[in-house]
Chains A and B, each alone.
Chain A
């Protein structure tokens, strides 16, 4: 019984939250990795693009709610996601046309792109705050739990309860669908193949008649989709605040780099590595250990390795360790 309790507590507090967070990071990191592979720079505006996309979703959610449209037990935001993607895609395509294309024409160095993306970051940040403000926004509706802690306890008779939030379930399902579609697109379709060819060897791809501007446009649209979905899922699961999204830049980049920049599989693996370490290191293990260990060994302190506020330190330390021992990441990425 104690062992079962330990497993349930572990799932409730570590595995399920980390799975949800990991999926969100993985989607974000896929965007970073695609931009890095195709456009060849680290996009600092990524977090703020995410904030913008989520903002559009929130606005449409409110519109639908005011019209009385809802998805029943599911959050209305799911309906608004396509509109959010469209809005974000429009924004990034306008940005690409107005800003990045000029530097592509000049064949500017990657670091110039990075500095340009800082300018874009300021603009997106300002736009989001101008339109929606800098405060917390909640836009979750529908059923809150798939499994309620209390119901679970009654059903199983265990001391520990297991709660699965609807948003966590949705996050996992959506992430799996998005990743399957993305990999199908990259590996099976003509456009996807041309994208991978362009990422592998730009000159060769140009020689074989691939239109670079088309590849870039498709990449931006995919990135807009990924980032909007990731942002919406994160916002549903936790809460929406532009500054938090800006700060997500760090774990997202860490995930992409740990997995190997330019490698989509690596981005997913990196997302989960970062999420699990963050949750595991900032979780107080007293409860789980109390069930799992014999009574005499029961810990007296919280057994929390680090305070929750240090979660950035966790992603950062993993990043440093990986960079020192495997500079190209877990899955061989590019090193330009």
Chain B
């Protein structure tokens, strides 16, 4: 089968799967799968840029996704004026002090090369930072802790936050890349894994920034509210004309709205990624991936190119993270789990076909579809598997109870099977 035919057939198959879900299990579920599938596709596009094209082993995707989610809060939520008055400026000043300490330490290291002087400088800087920060943070968190207790955001339109999410993730990636990219692949993996955990820890603890584990709910959205639609006589009439009741019509309408936004974002990013892949830049990146030494000998600045592609890929993950938080309408730092937001994305890229942008997108849709469907189909399947057991057996009850964990098992099996029998993925790199 030729390459492009294979692409069309596989994409058609995934499209049919989602349409089939719509017909058999309801269009609501189909749209849920489609929307998160679009977001997942963007995430795996970002990872594909890093791994498939440049060969960088990044397992800190969760951190960049979370930074994107944080950007939504920081950009689109209305500012809390009392909190700003209580200690906002001071808290920001503390952040500047902290950054200045780190930057100063680097300068000092360059000048003196004396680790004790640098260590002393960092210690003093850290103490001053804590002395400025702690009272400010306490003051901010004391402002109406049940309702706000944080600084809020800038109150800008939420779509703007997607770009900010990308920028925030890019900034994080710059810092990480500067420290960790010189390391070998295993070390880079551990380093990125660690940093993603740290980002989540910051989001959980710095309540003045994102309310921490108290979550931020009711984030602004780019589409109308369901309730508003249901109260709009014009909308109800149109829905009735289509033979739908207002409630389900409004949810479908909202989800379709998200789908349109996300599809537009995916298409823009996919076109850009394809252009990059087929440009001289893309050829250079693949040359670096395939043989770093000879690429360096040809005069390519490998370190800089790695940093560049690491930042680009992470920015895409940040955009996807911001989109996801917008879709959810709330930011819950505790919901970020590495298996779901880092390793599942890896499964998507590997299964779809690393090095091929379309493959990564396909993997995003397909694996997300399976992830959702294993949960919805799983209980029925388990009932069937355990049907030979007596109805009151403990084993049966236990298996039926823990069926939700089937999906992890399934993903592992899928990844191993693909790696074994089709190591280049469903849509191999050309």
Q: Is the CB of A319 within 8 A of B186?
A: no
Q: Is the CB of B187 within 8 A of A312?
A: no
Report the bound CA distance from A305 to B201 in whole Å: 15
Q: State whether the Cβ of B278 lies closer than 8 Å to any Cβ in chain A.
A: no
In the bound complex, residues from chain B placing their C-beta under 8 Å from that of A119 are 347, 412-413, 415-416, 419
Q: How far is the CB of B422 from chain A (nearest CB, A)?
A: 14
Report the bound CA distance from A184 to B252 in whole Å: 68
Looking at the complex, which of A75-83, A125-133, A160-168, A211-219 is the stretch in contact with chain B?
Answer: A125-133
Which chain B residue shows the least CB distance to A113? Answer: B186
Q: Is the CB of A123 within 8 A of B420?
A: no
Contacts known (A118-B346, A121-B343, A307-B205); A312 close to B412, Cβ less than 8 A? no
Q: Is the CB of A120 within 8 A of B412?
A: yes
Q: State whether the Cβ of A320 lies closer than 8 Å to any Cβ in chain B.
A: yes
Contacts known (A111-B185, A320-B191); A309 close to B346, Cβ less than 8 A? no
Q: How far is the CB of A231 from chain B (nearest CB, A)?
A: 18
Q: Which of A102, A126, A307 contacts B405 (CB 8 A)?
A: A126
In the bound complex, residues from chain B placing their C-beta under 8 Å from that of A320 are 179-180, 191
Looking at the complex, which of B13-21, B192-200, B253-261, B321-329 is the stretch in contact with chain A?
Answer: B192-200
Q: State whether the Cβ of B409 lies closer than 8 Å to any Cβ in chain A.
A: yes
Q: Is the CB of B193 within 8 A of A250?
A: yes
Q: Which of A110, A121, A316 contacts B186 (CB 8 A)?
A: A110
Q: State whether the Cβ of A4 lies closer than 8 Å to any Cβ in chain B.
A: no
- How would residues 356 to 385 of chain B score, 1 for a CB under 8 Å from any chain A CB and 0 otherwise? 000000000000000000000000000000
Q: Which of A126, A243, A305, A319 contacts B194 (CB 8 A)?
A: A319
Q: Which of A122, A131, A307 contacts B408 (CB 8 A)?
A: A122
Q: State whether the Cβ of B189 lies closer than 8 Å to any Cβ in chain A.
A: yes
Most A Cβ at <10 Å: residue of B190, B346, B399: B190
Report the bound CA distance from A60 to B140 in whole Å: 51
Q: State whether the Cβ of B111 lies closer than 8 Å to any Cβ in chain A.
A: no
Report the bound CA distance from A315 to B195 in whole Å: 11
Q: Is the CB of B191 within 8 A of A130?
A: no
Q: Is the CB of A123 within 8 A of B205?
A: no
Q: State whether the Cβ of B164 lies closer than 8 Å to any Cβ in chain A.
A: no
Contacts known (A119-B415, A121-B343, A126-B409); A114 close to B186, Cβ less than 8 A? yes
Q: Is the CB of B184 within 8 A of A335?
A: yes
Q: State whether the Cβ of A20 lies closer than 8 Å to any Cβ in chain B.
A: no
Q: How far is the CB of A197 from chain B (nearest CB, A)?
A: 23
Report the bound CA distance from A120 to B204 in whole Å: 29
Q: Is the CB of A315 within 8 A of B416?
A: no
Q: How far is the CB of B377 from chain A (nearest CB, A)?
A: 16
- How would residues 45 to 59 of chain B score, 1 for a CB under 8 Å from any chain A CB and 0 otherwise? 000000000000100
Report the bound CA distance from A324 to B191 in whole Å: 12
Report the bound CA distance from A123 to B405 in whole Å: 10
Q: How far is the CB of A323 from chain B (nearest CB, A)?
A: 6
- How would residues 290 to 311 of chain A score, 1 for a CB under 8 Å from any chain B CB and 0 otherwise? 0000000000010001010110
- How would residues 91 to 121 of chain A score, 1 for a CB under 8 Å from any chain B CB and 0 otherwise? 0000000010010000000111011101111
Report the bound CA distance from A16 to B126 in whole Å: 28
Q: Which of A122, A253, A261, A324 contacts B411 (CB 8 A)?
A: A122
In the bound complex, residues from chain A placing their C-beta under 8 Å from that of B179 are 320, 324
Q: Is the CB of B416 within 8 A of A116?
A: yes
In the bound complex, residues from chain A placing their C-beta under 8 Å from that of B126 are 305
Q: Which of B184, B401, B406 contacts A126 (CB 8 A)?
A: B406
Q: How far is the CB of B98 from chain A (nearest CB, A)?
A: 13
Interface size on B, residues (CB 8 A): 46
Q: Which of B185, B189, B405 contacts A129 (CB 8 A)?
A: B405
Report the bound CA distance from A129 to B184 in whole Å: 33
Q: Is the CB of A315 within 8 A of B194?
A: yes
Q: State whether the Cβ of B339 lies closer than 8 Å to any Cβ in chain A.
A: yes
Q: State whether the Cβ of A181 lies closer than 8 Å to any Cβ in chain B.
A: no
**From residue 152 to 201 of chain B, which have CB atoms closer than 8 A to chain A?**
179-180, 183-187, 189-191, 193-195, 197-198, 201
In the bound complex, residues from chain B placing their C-beta under 8 Å from that of A114 are 57, 185-186, 189
Which chain B residue shows the least CB distance to A249? Answer: B193
Q: Is the CB of B198 within 8 A of A312?
A: yes
Report the bound CA distance from A32 to B310 in whole Å: 27
Most B Cβ at <10 Å: residue of A44, A122, A313, A320: A122
Q: How far is the CB of B56 from chain A (nearest CB, A)?
A: 10
Report the bound CA distance from A320 to B416 in whole Å: 32
Which chain B residue shows the least CB distance to A335? Answer: B184
Q: State whether the Cβ of A254 lies closer than 8 Å to any Cβ in chain B.
A: yes
Q: State whether the Cβ of B402 lies closer than 8 Å to any Cβ in chain A.
A: yes
Q: State whether the Cβ of A247 lies closer than 8 Å to any Cβ in chain B.
A: yes
Q: Secondary structure at chain A's binding surface: helix, strand, loop or mixed?
A: helix
Report the bound CA distance from A327 to B185 in whole Å: 13
Q: Is the CB of A250 within 8 A of B405?
A: no
Q: State whether the Cβ of A42 lies closer than 8 Å to any Cβ in chain B.
A: yes
In the bound complex, residues from chain A placing their C-beta under 8 Å from that of B42 are none
In the bound complex, residues from chain B placing their C-beta under 8 Å from that of A305 are 126
In the bound complex, residues from chain B placing their C-beta under 8 Å from that of A176 are none
In the bound complex, residues from chain B placing their C-beta under 8 Å from that of A41 are 186
- How would residues 254 to 278 of chain A score, 1 for a CB under 8 Å from any chain B CB and 0 otherwise? 1001000100000000000000000
Q: Is the CB of B416 within 8 A of A257?
A: no
Report the bound CA distance from A112 to B418 in whole Å: 12
Q: State whether the Cβ of A206 lies closer than 8 Å to any Cβ in chain B.
A: no
Q: Which of B197, B205, B346, B407 contacts A250 (CB 8 A)?
A: B197
In the bound complex, residues from chain B placing their C-beta under 8 Å from that of A257 are 187, 190
- How would residues 394 to 430 of chain B score, 1 for a CB under 8 Å from any chain A CB and 0 otherwise? 0000010110011111111101100110010000000
Q: Which of B189, B201, B420 contacts A42 (CB 8 A)?
A: B189
Q: State whether the Cβ of A158 lies closer than 8 Å to any Cβ in chain B.
A: no
Q: How far is the CB of B5 from chain A (nearest CB, A)?
A: 28
Q: Is the CB of B419 within 8 A of A125?
A: no
Which chain B residue shows the least CB distance to A133? Answer: B402
Report the bound CA distance from A307 to B401 in whole Å: 36
Q: State whether the Cβ of A134 lies closer than 8 Å to any Cβ in chain B.
A: yes
Q: Is the CB of A126 within 8 A of B408?
A: yes
15 contacts between A and B (CB under 8 A): A41-B186, A112-B419, A114-B186, A120-B412, A126-B410, A130-B399, A130-B409, A246-B338, A246-B339, A247-B197, A250-B190, A312-B198, A319-B191, A320-B180, A323-B183
* Residue positions of B touching A, CB distance < 8 A: 57, 115, 126, 134, 179-180, 183-187, 189-191, 193-195, 197-198, 201, 204-205, 337-339, 343, 346-347, 350, 399, 401-402, 405-413, 415-416, 419-420, 423
Q: A250-B197, A319-B191 given; name 5 further pairs at CB < 8 Å.
A: A110-B185, A116-B416, A246-B338, A309-B204, A320-B179
The 9 closest A-B pairs by CB, nearest first: A122-B412, A126-B409, A126-B408, A123-B412, A129-B405, A119-B415, A316-B194, A119-B416, A42-B186
